[in-house]
Amino acid sequence: MAIFFGKQKPQYQKPAKNTKKSKIPDGLWTKCEDCGDIIFNKVLEENTMVCVKCNYHFILGTDKRIEATLDAGSFEELDSDLSSIDLLDFQGPKTYKEKLKKDAEITGLKEAAVYGKGKIESNDVVLAVTDSRFIMGSMGSVVGEKITRAIELAEEEKLPLIVISGSGGGARMYEGIFSLMQMAKTSAALSRLNKSGGLFISILTNPTMAGVLASFASLGDVIIAEPKSLIGFTGPRVIEQTIRQKLPEGFQKSEFLLEHGFIDMIVSRKDIRNKLSSLIDYMQINP
């Protein structure tokens, strides 16, 4: 053994390498996009995809959105067979047909909008939802048609209309003028609903932008937004570049818009069903 200054030099032995490293399975955790907190997915799902630390509302798919809004098992989807066609034979890095096929595979949807009838605490309602996962929730001919049919059904059956908007894409460029026409089409249908005395509650989620906001989404008798949602006609960076000015803190967030009177209230996702039920009862829409 080696001797160091008359003392036995300690002998160190490297620990054997553990060839069986413990691995945490992928897909168990999600990082909050707002506060950066790491959330166990099961906890996130149980809290309706809302961060337990900062109340950030994650984007919610159509099925989960309906589940969080309506009474369990009460939703009856209508016109589920409607799907878009490539009227303009749109060409680009990806064709319109390719985009439709890919997003249908990812989301399980045929289009960015779903509508039908359901119940909220036993109150009959017409519900339409747009999904930002399908071509950014943009409004093509089918989306406009489904929203219009939902409006007309609410008018015909004298039921409250609820539309939950999640659209970062506005009008769908792949359909050109056919898409832009949907802004006027949905707005005209809402005007008829209003004249008939019907109730329209518009719920804005993150994001609700462009042509969707400039048409049906901003025409509600009551406009509700989820917390910290991005809501506006165009993004803040584009506006800053255009006007060459720095925008106020939180510009186009739902809290800023509530302060300036653009929306009526901010409601957390987990409270939305009770709030909608209270509004419907208060306005005495149902007999």
Query: In one letter, which amino acid is 191?
Result: S
276 membership: H or E segment, kind and range: helix 272-283
Q: Under a CB-based contact definition with an 8 Å cutoff, are residues 159 and 194 in contact?
A: no
Q: Is the pTM of this model over 0.85?
A: no
pLDDT at 236: 74
In angstroms, the Cα distances linking 273 to 52, 66, 278 are 19, 10, 9
Give the separation between CA 24 and CA 64, rounded to whole angstroms. 27
pLDDT at 52: 76
**Residue range(s) occupied by CATH 3.90.226.10 in the chain:** 60-283
- Cis peptide bond prior to 207, omega within 30° of 0: yes
pLDDT at 286: 46
Give the separation between CA 173 and CA 152, rounded to whole angstroms. 26
* Cα angle, residue 235 at apex, residues 130 and 111 outer, rounded to 5°: 20
Q: pLDDT tens digits for the chain (287 residues)?
A: 455 455 555 555 555 555 554 454 567 888 887 787 788 888 788 777 888 788 778 778 888 899 889 999 899 999 998 988 888 888 878 888 888 899 999 888 899 899 999 999 989 999 999 988 888 888 889 999 999 999 999 999 999 999 999 887 778 888 889 989 999 999 999 999 999 999 999 999 988 888 888 889 999 999 999 998 888 887 777 777 777 778 777 677 888 889 888 899 999 888 999 999 999 988 864 44
Nearest of 201, 130, 213, 199 to residue 159 by alpha carbon: 199
Q: Under a CB-based contact definition with an 8 Å cutoff, are residues 201 and 242 in contact?
A: no
Nearest of 129, 105, 69, 104 to residue 271 by alpha carbon: 69
The secondary structure of residue 258, as a DSSP letter, is: H
pLDDT at 28: 83
Looking at 3.30.1010.10, 1.10.240.10, 3.90.226.10, 3.40.50.700, the CATH number of the domain 60-283 comes to 3.90.226.10
